[in-house]
Amino acid sequence: MPEFFIELFSEEIPARMQKQAAVQLESAFKDLLESFSATDVHTYVGSRRLALAAHLNGGTKPKTIEERGPREAAPDAAVNGFLKKHNTTHEELVVEGGYYWLRREQPAIPLINLFQEAIPMLLNRFFGWPKSMRWGSGGEFTWVRPLRRIVCLLDGEVVPFTLGPVTASNITEGHRVHGKGPFEVSSAAVWEEKLREHFVIADQGERRARIAEGIAAAAAKLGLAVAPDEALLDEVTGLVEYPVPLIGRIDPEFMELPPEVRELSMKTNQKYFALRDAAGKPAPYFAFVANLAADDGGAAIIAGNERVLRARLSDARHFWALDLKTPLDALLPKLEKITFHAKLGTQRQRADRIADLAEEIASALGGTAEQAGQAATAGLLCKADLVTGMVGEFPELQGIMGGYYATRGRGPVIGGAISSHYQPKGPSDDVPAGIVPVAVALADKLDTLREFFAVGEKPTGSGDPFALRRAALGVIRIILENGLRLHLLPLIKGDKELFGFIIERLRVKLRGEGKRFDVLDAVLAAGEDDDLVRLMKRVEALEAMLDSEDGRNLLAAYKRAANILKIENAKDGPHLPDPVQGPLPEKAEEDLRDDLQFVLNNTIPDFAAENYSIAMAGFAKLRTVIDAFFEKVTVNAESSELRQNRLRLLARFTHAVNQVAEFSRIEG
C-alpha cells in the first residue's frame, strides 16, 4: 500500500487562514485520492507548512484501446487516413463485421507519472487563500507567502515537478531558530519524527493540546487557572511551531482597569491568555506561548513581553482616564454627527427611538414608573460610548464601556442595562435579565428590525448586511428565556411582514434544536398569536399530545375526516359545523355528537384560558369516539338527511380540533 505525501513549506502563513487552507488542500486532492481508494488521509498545517499524507490502494491497470475504422470496402484513401491518424500500419488492423478495427494494449501508467502530471494542475487551482502573493519569472504563480520548498513523495520516491519557482524534492527544514539545517525525509512518519528532532510539532492537534496543557500547568503552579478562550487557543496554535508556555506579571496599577479592557488588549495585540485566581477573579498575571526554548528559561522573553504589555496598558489607562472626565450625556451631541444609515438618520436619532421604545417595553412588562424612566435613560445613552476614546481604540467594547461610564454617573441599573444591551451576540451568549436591561436590549433590536424593514433594507437569500436575522433571533431568545408576556405586533408598528420574518427565525431555531416546526405552523394557522411565550406553550402542549398514542390516532382521524369533507364538499358542499338536525340512529354518532359538544363547551374554554394540559387531555379523549364512529358508521348513507348530519359531525370535529391547530399542516 504505497503512501503519498506532500509538504508545501513557505514563509509564515497567517493563523486565520490555516484551518481553511488544510480543508482546501484535502479538497484539491479529493478526486485523485478517491480514484485510488485512499485511506488514512491526514492534513497538517502550521505557521510555515501545509501538508497531506494518505495511503493508496491499488494503482493504474493496463487496458485495451479499441477504435472502429472505415468499412472493409472503403476506398484506400479512407483507410490510409485512418492509419495516419493513429500512427499505425495495415498489419495492426483486423476485420470484424465488415469494418476495420484497431486494438492496442496500453500498459499500466506508473503512479509516479500520473501524480507528476496531476499535482501541478491541482495546486495551481488551489483556492485556499483569501489573500495571496504572485511571483516567479513570469509572475504566474500565486501562494499566500513566498513558497520555499516542496516535498512530494510516492512510496518514498520523489515525484518530480515544478510549481512556480520551486521544484519538488525530499528535503525540508525545521524550526527557524532551533532547526539544524535542511534534512531529507522518506515518508510522512519520518517527516513528522525528524521535524520533532528539529523543534517542530507538525500535527496541529498535538500542538494545540500542548499549549492548553502547558499554560494550564504553568498557571496551576501559582494557584491560578486560565480563562477559557478557544478562539485564542486556535490562533496561538497557528502561530508557533514549538510551543513553550510562560507566565508574566501585570503591574498592580493596571488591575484598576476594567477587566474587559485589559484582557482585550492582551488578547488582540499580544495573544496573551488571561488568568483567574481561586475565586474566579482576574489575577495580576498573564500566560503566553513562546516559539522557542531559551537558555535562561524564558526570563528575558518574559521581561520583554511584560514591557510591551506595560506600554499597551498605559495607552488603555490614558483612554480610561480621559473618558471618565466626560459624562455620557455630554457626548450625545457628537452622535448627531454620526450617520447610522443614509435612510435612517443619525445615531442620535436612533438613540431617541430606542429610548422611547425601551420606555414602552418596560411599561408593557409591568415595570414601575421609575423602571420605565430608567429604561428610557439607558436607551438614550446606550450608543454614547461610540464616541469615546476607549471604544475608538477597541470597537469590540462598545456597550461594555458605556456600562462602566454610566454606572459611575447614573448607577448600576442604568449601567448594567447599557452594558448588556447588545446581548445575545451569539448562540452561546446569555440573554439580559430584569425589566430595565431586557427593555433596552429588546428596544435596540426591535428598532433595528422595524426601521430597516420600513425602508426596504431586508435580508436576501445571499446576504444580511445589517444582521437582521441575528437581531430577530436575539428578540426571540430574550422573550422566551425570560418568559416575557409581550405582544410583538404593537412594538413593530403592526408590520405583518416583519412579524413573519421573526416567526421564520423561530422556525429556524426550532429546526436547529431538532424540534418540530410543522407543529408551530399548525398552531399559527389556527390564529395569529404575537405572544411568543403563549405560542410556544401551545406548541409544546400539542407536541406532547402528538407524541402519545391517542394524539397520533387523533391526527390520523382528523386527516381522514378532512379528506372525506374535501371530497363531499366538492359534490354538494360546503358542509358547515352546524348542530346536528334530528335523531342519530347509531350510538357511535351520538357519542361523537355529545363529546364534541363537551369539547366546545369546556375544553376550548380551557384552551383559551391557557390550561393547555387540561385542554389537550380533553381533545385526546376524542380519539376513542372518532375511532368508533369510523368503525361503525357509514358516512355516505343512502338517506340524504342522515348523510348531511354525519358530514356535519365531521365538520364539527375538524372545526373543534382546528381551534387548537390546523392539523392538516402537521406531518404524519
Q: What is the pLDDT of residues 244-272, one digit of tens each?
A: 999 999 999 999 999 999 999 999 989 99
Q: What is the pLDDT, as a whole number, of residue 344?
A: 96
- Residue 17 pLDDT > 90: yes
Amino acid (one-letter) located at 639: S
Q: Cis (ω within 30 of 0) for the bond into 424?
A: yes
Q: What are phi and psi of 583, to 5 degrees?
A: -75, 155
pLDDT tens digits along 110-151: 778 888 888 988 888 766 678 887 765 555 678 888 899 999
Least confident of 4-18, 373-387, 410-424, 579-593: 579-593
Q: What are phi and psi of 602, to 5 degrees?
A: -125, -50
* Separation in Å, CA 7 to CA 23, 32, 44, 48, 445: 14, 17, 9, 10, 48
Three-state secondary structure of 556-602? HHHHHHHHHHHHHHHHHCCCCCCCCCCCCCCHHHHHHHHHHHHHHHH
Q: Which CATH architecture has domain 63-106?
A: 2-Layer Sandwich (3.30)
Coil vs helix vs strand at 8: strand
- Cα dihedral 594, 600, 603, 605, rounded to 10, equals -150
Q: What is the pLDDT, as a whole number, of residue 166?
A: 92
Read off the pLDDT of each residue in 303-322 and give the average, rounded to a whole number.
96
For residue 287, the 8-state DSSP code is E
Q: How close are the terminal C-alpha atoms of the chain, in Å?
A: 50
Q: Nearest Cα to 509, choosing from 479, 539, 542, 476?
A: 476
- Residue 479 pLDDT > 90: yes
Compute the distance between CA of residue 410 and CA of residue 589 in angstroms, rounded to an integer: 70
Q: Which residues contact 313 (CB under 8 A, 6 or more apart)?
A: 250, 251, 254, 257, 262, 265
37 band by pLDDT with thresholds 50, 70 and 90: confident
Where would I find the beta strands (DSSP E) of 72-124? 93-96, 99-106
Q: Specify whether the CB–CB gap between 128 and 17 falls below 8 A.
A: yes
Q: What is the pLDDT, as a whole number, of residue 212?
A: 98
- Residue 59 pLDDT > 70: no
Q: What is the pLDDT, as a whole number, of residue 389?
A: 95
Q: What is the pLDDT, as a whole number, of residue 227?
A: 96
All 3 cell numbers of residue 652?
364539527
Count the Cβ atoms, other than its own, within 10 Å of residue 103: 12
Compute the distance between CA of residue 429 and CA of residue 423 in angstroms, rounded to an integer: 7
* Separation in Å, CA 560 to CA 129, 372, 546, 620: 58, 53, 16, 16
**463 DSSP β-pair partners:** 460
Compute the distance between CA of residue 19 and CA of residue 69 in angstroms, rounded to an integer: 53
Read off the pLDDT of each residue in 344-357 and give the average, rounded to a whole number.
97
Q: What is the CATH number of domain 330-484?
A: 1.10.3210.10
Q: What is the pLDDT, as a whole number, of residue 108?
A: 58
Q: What is the pLDDT, as a whole number, of residue 190?
A: 97
Q: Specify whether the CB–CB gap between 244 and 293 falls below 8 A.
A: yes
Q: Nearest Cα to 508, choosing from 496, 520, 499?
A: 520
Instruction: Calculate helix-pair angle for 532-546, 468-482, nearest 10 degrees.
Output: 70
Burial of 99 (0-12, 13-18, 19+ CB in 10 A): middle
* Separation in Å, CA 324 to CA 36, 49, 513, 545: 67, 47, 44, 58
Q: What is the pLDDT, as a whole number, of residue 109?
A: 62
pLDDT tens digits along 62-119: 666 788 889 988 898 988 998 888 888 888 888 888 898 888 776 656 778 888 888 9
Read off the pLDDT of each residue in 417-435 and give the average, rounded to a whole number.
95
High-pLDDT (> 70) share of the chain, %: 97
Q: Which CATH architecture has domain 544-665?
A: Orthogonal Bundle (1.10)
Q: What is the pLDDT, as a whole number, of residue 61?
A: 60
For residue 174, the 8-state DSSP code is -
Q: What is the pLDDT, as a whole number, of residue 91?
A: 83
pLDDT tens digits along 384-394: 999 999 999 99
Q: Which residues contact 532 (CB under 8 A, 6 or more apart)?
A: 476, 479, 480, 486, 488, 506
Compute the distance between CA of residue 532 and CA of residue 515 in angstroms, rounded to an integer: 16
Compute the distance between CA of residue 628 and CA of residue 47 in angstroms, rounded to an integer: 73
Q: How many helices (H) and strands (E) does the chain have?
A: 26, 20
Q: What are phi and psi of 69, to 5 degrees?
A: -105, -155
All 3 cell numbers of residue 173?
527544514
Compute the distance between CA of residue 162 and CA of residue 141 in angstroms, rounded to an integer: 11
Compute the distance between CA of residue 571 and CA of residue 555 in angstroms, rounded to an integer: 25
